[in-house]
Amino acid sequence: DMAVFRFVRSYARGETLFRFGNGESSWRDYAHVTDVARGLFEAMHREENDEPFAILNVASGVPTKLRCLIETVASACGGDPAAVEERPPRPGDVGGTFADVTAAEEILRSRA
């Protein structure tokens, strides 16, 4: 996700990290690239008798609040999670999204 890259870059450069909103009212479904790759691998190696095509959400299926994501990135980068400048929420920002991974779990027998 672009947010993770921006947060890592800000901490690496010693720049102020800007967060829109309080970090509790915004959440997303973050998945690591290796988890997504595993899901794609499982999709490519399905049994021949399975349905040939399906539309699936390859994701964690777990919402992560922005505040928690920032704290995790800060911890991993040696940054200060308190070094965040809070700004007002931006008009049009969606509170949160996360994927329904039920079909992926059933068809691929895994989740990201």
Does the pLDDT value for residue 79 go beyond 70? yes
pLDDT > 90 in the chain, percent: 22
Distance CA 51, CA 65 (A): 35
**20 phi and psi, to 5 degrees?**
-95, 115
* pTM for the full predicted model: 0.77
CA distance 87 to 108: 41
What is the CA 16 to chain-centroid distance, rounded? 22
pLDDT tens-digit series, residues 39-78: 889 888 887 666 778 888 888 888 999 999 999 999 998 8
Q: What is the mean pLDDT of residues 88-103?
A: 89
Round the CA-based radius of gyration of the chain to a whole number and report it.
Answer: 17
Q: Reduced to 3 states, what is the DSSP secondary structure of residue 18?
A: strand
